[in-house]
Structure 1
């Protein structure tokens, strides 16, 4: 099926700027919370954000939404093809944002990736609610331990665009989720 939003997302995944990504996000329809239930594979949308290029090299797999109160926001690929959940409370977000360019070095990423297993958890680290963001009410993931909201909009039946809104100035970090 020919889907303009899907084609546009594919273009943006090659790299864009925050203004263009926000314009695309704003043009997409909202989601209801139950539409997110299930497992999703994630991909970054590079816009020049300080988090660009960090998640995927660390083995970020995506997110899992088992219900409104049972959200696993950081699912990573493990050895042998399995996945595991990382406790967001153990992620030093302010340091990651501050030292993002240094962390992108392949030799450092190779050391950090195995250490993520030390932050494994079986407990949810977020919940889902409807919130208003940029004038539209849509499904939003609220982290339990971080000042972060992930707001979602529908690209197509199997794909959503996420805007990670962090406390403080600056544009959100963008990512896509593809239903597994």
Structure 2
């Protein structure tokens, strides 16, 4: 897949997970994930939830979600997430973009500011991008971003 420049990501993107058997498959959608917003290379909102709420990834219990994925997708967890959302809000950008060499290609990557996570991006076509979330906590998680007009 072709590389993508950081500047080509500027804007809002609708997100969707790609089912691969990963523990996080379906979790973000279950919780109302909308996508990502790239205002500039230095100002990125990596987690936008309906109805446009920006969340801080550092405040989310990622290790718990990876360890007990069914619990994370339960009705109780979804209800608790809605109640806790105000406390999970981001108070500014939570990531930045940089070109990074990954699997033989220098392409745009989103580096979380307070989590050991990097999202690597490759262009599918003019309006779609493939994302791969890389962390030491879990195997790669794949997702799709579609440009919003």
Aligned partners of 1:114, 1:134: CA distance in 2, in Å? Answer: 40
CA distance in 2, matches of 1:94, 1:169: 9
Q: Which runs of 5+ in 2 are unaligned?
A: none
The Cα RMSD (Å) is 1.3
Large movers: runs of 4+ above 4 Å: none
Give 1 or 2: higher helix fraction: 1
Q: Which structure features the higher share of strand residues?
A: 2
Question: Larger radius of gyration, structure 1 or 2?
Answer: 1
Normalised by the size of structure 1, how large is the TM-score?
0.78
Cα offsets for 1:52-108 (capped at 9, x unmatched): 111011010000000110000010102xxxx11001111122122112122122332
TM-score, normalization by structure 2: 0.93
Aligned pairs (5 A) from 1:87-98: 87-98=56-67
Mapped to 1, the partners of 2:119 and 2:83 lie a distance apart of 26
Contact 2:36 2:45 in 1 (8 A): yes
Show structure 1 runs of 5+ residues with no match.
1-27
Quote the residue 2:145 is aligned against.
Answer: 177
SS in structure 2 at match of 1:123:
coil
